[in-house]
Structure 1
Amino acid sequence: MMTGTTGSDATPTKAHSGKLTRGHKKKARTRQQLIDAALRIYAEKGAGELALNELAREAGVSNGTIYNYFRSKEAVLEAVAIALAENLSQQVNVLSEGVTNGAERLAVGVRVFVRKAEKDPNWASALVNVVRYAEGMRSKLAANVLKDLRAGYEQKLFSFDNEELAIGLVVSGAMGAMIDVVEDRAVEHHGEIVASMLLQALGMDREEAQAIAYRPLPA
């Protein structure tokens, strides 16, 4: 009697768990579908131009589906910004793993931004449009830069008068380099040149900055 009860309880639990798993996966796929569609719209029109009904059409879902995930275009922007910042941060962190030199870490980050823009100009255009509006994304990028700036400063590689302005210099320089790529103004070795110039602006001499900026990216 007790054995039969236990078996009976276990079967529905597994089935219910399976349904939840499939449901969560489908919801995650739809959310990603919406984020990808928003990226395409941002790349083409800018972050201030997105309308939720247009997003629904671009993503191939009903208008009602949108509201299961996002209540406003500001919520869409925030989700896209977080996704972009996390994606970029993950790529930079993977490449910088094991690199302790603050200047080299900063150069790797700048070059990753530029190379990503060169490979996918639409993505870069979306990023440039989004970062103007998304405070959370700017904060995320600034936090990553800050770690490398402080490491370089403690290692006596950098010399600057104001930390906040130094962060703004690096972030603005990287964004400017991406805009150059998007607007077809990039030159050969664009990422390396920008990284070298930023390192020099942070107090390094030209020869040392160039040596670091042109090192092969970590595997």
Structure 2
Amino acid sequence: MSGEPPEQEGRVARRQRRNREALIRAASEVMTEKGMDGATMLEIAERADVGAGTVYNYFRSKDELAIAVLEEMMHDLALQIEKATAGIKDPAQVYAFGVRTVLEAATTDIRWKQMLYRSEVIADALYRRMGPFAIRDLRLGVAAGRFALEDAELVWRLTAHAIVGVSLAITTDVVPVGARNEVVVRLLCMTGIGTDAAAELVAGAERVREGKGGR
């Protein structure tokens, strides 16, 4: 048999991947400009340069597309955290910076804020997309004697759901924006460290955000 069918399948797969990526990029742009309610599937399709009906071959609804946008943002944010903490040797400080960064993104970026009402779905996406990074840092923290926990996956799952829940509370003015650092302290306490140690890590995360480095 010739290699033609696999080659054709490869071309189809590449085209599908490009279309999907283009739709996610376009949706991210339009939703940033107009908000989720103001964005339309037609405009997103036009921005992605695909047929109006093609978008439904990849996403059943605008809500599903918005979740895909958010999942890509989560992965990109994880990579940004990796870059920002590349010179930090303390895995506990890396983890603290990551939690603080995610909480800020969830409460300031319009694409996150508009999806927080789908808390269960978003928390699951956060657990999956950023989990490989967060769970690794939790385990490294245990190995370094910084954290005291038995199940890193469980701690990250609880943290992911807590981040989404408290972010919704912040964006709906139930919890003040100024409480972000206190929230992160409480989230870090789930790693088995005390309040004082958690507060020190949050202070370090703030220094990293300000470009002053961490330990």
TM range (shorter): 0.5 to 0.7
Q: Structure 1, residues 9-49: CA drift from partner, whole Å, max 9, x if none?
A: xxxxxxxxxxxxxxxx9x9777522343367898559xxxx
The correspondence for 1:209, drawn from 176, 198, 215, is 198
CA distance in structure 2 between the aligned counterparts of 1:59 and 1:68, rounded to whole angstroms: 6
Q: Please show how residues 99-138 of structure 1 align to structure 2 within 5 Å.
A: 99-120=88-109, 122-128=110-116, 132-133=120-121, 138=127
Equivalent in the alignment of 1:183: 172
What amino acid does structure 1 have at the position aligned with 2:172?
E
Q: Which moved more, 1:65-74 or 1:83-92?
A: 65-74
Alignment RMSD, CA only? 3.7
Give the structure-1-normalised TM-score: 0.67
Structure 1 residues 136 and 169, CA gap change in structure 2 (3 angstroms) = closer
Say yes or no: does 1:37 pair with 2:44: no
Say yes or no: does 1:55 pair with 2:41: yes
What amino acid does structure 1 have at the position aligned with 2:60?
K
Deviation at 1:60, TM superposition (A): 5.6
Q: Please tell me whether Structure 1 or Structure 2 has the larger radius of gyration of its CA atoms.
A: 1
The correspondence for 1:73, drawn from 57, 60, 78, is 60
Structure 2: gaps of 5 or more residues: 1-17
Q: Is the 8 A contact 2:103 2:180 kept in 1?
A: yes
Deviation at 1:146, TM superposition (A): 0.4
Structure 1: gaps of 5 or more residues: 1-24
Structure 1 residues 123 and 31, CA gap change in structure 2 (3 angstroms) = closer
The correspondence for 1:173, drawn from 162, 169, 189, is 162
Give the structure-2-normalised TM-score: 0.68
Percent identity over the alignment is 16
Say yes or no: does 1:139 pair with 2:132: no
Paired residues, number: 187
Deviation at 1:57, TM superposition (A): 4.3
The correspondence for 2:78, drawn from 83, 89, 96, is 89
What amino acid does structure 2 have at the position aligned with 1:125?
K
CA distance in structure 2 between the aligned counterparts of 1:89 and 1:154, rounded to whole angstroms: 21
CA distance in structure 1 between the aligned counterparts of 2:114 and 2:135, rounded to whole angstroms: 24
